[in-house]
């Protein structure tokens, strides 16, 4: 299809007139060149050119993104299967912007179906889910031997680090973080996604102190009302009993994990811990919940309702999901509309000197020289099928243009009073040839339409009490554990692999 462009000169002004041959509903009479309007009859004044209307001429498309577009600044995390760098964009749009760049080696990922599944799940979910309290994906691209995820840089560090420094949080502080997490989980559930690995290490803070959920490798898609899955995965201390007994689970497992996290924030350790995995699991399944006497009645009640072993009796486990949680009296002073719009001041604002400040991250990594080592590995054509469709550019980036993972079970040092190693466990089965595209769940899922979430409760009257701030950070204890970016383990342990099915 062609269009004619005429350029007319009248003094210093130039006007362009386009005359397109558009068919009416009855069709056009005759074929050939379109007739000129009587107002512009006669040969065009000046010059004209014919331009073919193609995708490339109308929409040139996004810039070509690759490792050359980013300058390495610092190392933020490192695991067996990859690294996370703080980087600066040095070419194209968003010039000078700071990001976190997660780099994964393809050859190590394709050796293990679990790692391929983790990478595929995180890439797909980060593209499809947009929320103020979920980490944003800006770009995804690949080279012959590596995968790259360019994420927003969350310079506030991990919630784990701040909780470790404080020991416990005051209830007002815990309420703020739990409220933002509740909105994030509710959004995931509305999309049919269960998170399944909620813990302090996977919750990070941005520069203003608001939370962001990260690491979506253990998520499960297409879990709507009535659907269940049986995958044995998560981190033991935060895993719901229905996962441990493999009776089938749904989104209610995230509310159990939020209850375990709430208990952790208010007491200094998860609710059920022991010296080994088996005893920890036994406590989760049949142990008695011990609540310290200093908790307020509302906090005690909410923890008890989160940690109901019957998922049907658990708060959030019914059709209302997050809306039921929001109505609990523990959150009576929360204005959910203001919270979602991030108009509520966080209890802790990271002390950052600049956009490049990495003081909230482990200095064991930030002191290292940032090097993205060359990788000349060449995968076979069949192995590369696992990474088809990986490349991505966020819509927000397109708008501006127009103007190692390892989830093998591992031992991890506990935080504070917790004497049990936190042991992430990952699912096993995955076909590496599914590609990086959202796909329906396995045959075991029983699908049902998702009912709309209940409307949030009306805003409460203004409260005279403001959230109490967290004390300024002092020192921090070092712990060998999986870092918040999900780039692999730091300290491999001899924990045997769990066995389940996806």
Q: How far apart are the first and last CA of the chain?
A: 50
CA atoms 211, 270, 332, 457: torsion sign: positive
Take residue 204 and report the two structure tokens written for it. 């990070």
Give the HSE-up count for residue 383: Cα atoms under 13 Å, Cβ half-sphere: 15
215 is catalytic: no
> In what side-by-side order are the strands of the sheet with 82-89?
70-79, 82-89, 98-105, 146-152, 137-142, 392-393
* Cβ count within 10 A of residue 364: 12
Give me the residues paired with residue 104 across strands.
82, 147
Asked whether residue 102 is marked as a ligand-binding residue, the answer is yes
Helical packing angle, 171-190 and 252-267, nearest 10°: 170
Whole-angstrom distance, CA of residue 396 vs CA of residue 159: 27
Q: How far apart are CA 127 and CA 151, in angstroms?
A: 11
- Residues 487, 306, 243, 223: is their CA dihedral positive or negative? negative
Q: What would the two tokens of residue 143 be?
A: 């080279």
Contact 440, 193 (CB under 8 A): no
What is the CB neighbour count within 10 angstroms for residue 376?
A: 6
Residues 384, 391: Cα–Cα separation, whole Å? 13
Question: Do residues 283 and 273 make contact, with C-beta atoms less than 8 angstroms apart?
Answer: yes
Question: CA-CA distance, 492 to 494, in Å (whole number)?
Answer: 7
Diameter of the chain by CA atoms? 93
Do the beta carbons of residue 488 and residue 82 sit within 8 Å? Answer: yes
- What string of DSSP letters covers 356-397? T--TTS-HHHHTS------------HHHHGGGTT--EE-HHH
Residue 140 phi/psi, 5-degree rounding, is: -140, 130
DSSP 3-state assignment of 445? coil
Which one of 115, 172, 197, 357 is the catalytic residue? 197
Q: Which residues are annotated as a binding site?
A: 102
Q: Which residues are annotated as a binding site for ATP?
A: 102
> Known catalytic residues?
197
């Amino acid at each position: 299809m062609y269009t004619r462009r005429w350029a007319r000169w009248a003094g210093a002004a130039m006007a362009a007139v386009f005359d397109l041959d558009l068919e009416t509903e009855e069709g056009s009479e005759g074929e050939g060149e379109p007739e000129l309007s009587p107002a512009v009859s006669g040969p065009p004044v000046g010059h004209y050119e014919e331009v073919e209307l193609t995708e490339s001429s109308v929409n040139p498309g996004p810039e070509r993104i690759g490792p050359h577009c980013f300058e390495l600044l610092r190392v933020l995390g490192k695991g067996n299967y990859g690294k996370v760098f703080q980087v600066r964009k040095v070419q194209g749009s968003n010039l000078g912007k700071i990001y976190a760049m997660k780099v994964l080696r393809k050859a190590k990922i394709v050796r293990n179906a679990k790692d391929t599944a983790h990478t595929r799940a995180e890439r797909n979910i980060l593209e499809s889910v947009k929320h103020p309290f979920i980490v944003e994906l800006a770009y995804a691209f690949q080279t012959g031997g590596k995968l790259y995820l360019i994420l927003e840089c969350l310079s506030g560090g991990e919630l784990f680090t701040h909780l470790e420094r404080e020991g416990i949080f005051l209830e007002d502080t815990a309420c703020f973080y739990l409220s933002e997490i509740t909105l994030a989980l509710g959004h995931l559930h509305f999309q049919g996604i269960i998170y399944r690995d909620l813990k302090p290490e996977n919750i990070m803070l941005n520069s203003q102190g608001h939370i962001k959920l990260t690491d979506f490798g253990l998520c499960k898609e297409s879990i709507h009302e009535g659907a269940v899955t049986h995958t044995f995965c998560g981190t033991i201390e935060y895993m719901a009993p229905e996962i441990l007994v493999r009776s089938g689970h749904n989104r209610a497992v995230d509310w159990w994990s939020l209850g375990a996290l709430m208990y952790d924030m208010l007491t200094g350790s998860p609710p059920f811990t022991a010296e080994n995995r088996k005893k920890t699991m036994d406590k989760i399944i049949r142990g008695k919940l011990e609540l310290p006497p200093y908790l307020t009645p509302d906090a005690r009640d909410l923890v008890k309702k989160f940690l109901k072993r019957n998922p049907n009796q658990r708060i959030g486990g019914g059709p209302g999901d997050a809306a039921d949680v929001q109505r609990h009296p523990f959150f009576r002073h929360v204005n959910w509309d203001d919270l979602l719009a991030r108009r509520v001041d966080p209890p802790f604002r990271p002390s950052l000197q600049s956009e490049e400040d990495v003081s909230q991250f482990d200095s064991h990594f930030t002191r290292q020289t940032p090097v993205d080592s060359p990788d000349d590995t060449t995968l076979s054509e069949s192995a590369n099928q696992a990474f088809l469709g990986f490349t991505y550019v966020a819509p927000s980036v397109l708008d501006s243009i127009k103007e190692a993972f390892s989830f093998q079970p591992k031992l991890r040092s506990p935080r504070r009073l917790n004497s049990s190693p936190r042991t992430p466990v990952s699912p096993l089965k995955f076909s590496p040839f599914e590609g990086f595209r959202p796909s329906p769940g396995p045959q075991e899922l029983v699908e049902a339409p998702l009912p709309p979430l209940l409307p949030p409760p009306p805003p409460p009257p203004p409260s005279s009490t403001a959230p109490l701030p967290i004390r300024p950070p002092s020192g921090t204890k070092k712990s060998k554990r999986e870092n918040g970016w999900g780039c692999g383990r730091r300290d491999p342990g001899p924990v045997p692999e769990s066995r389940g099915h996806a």
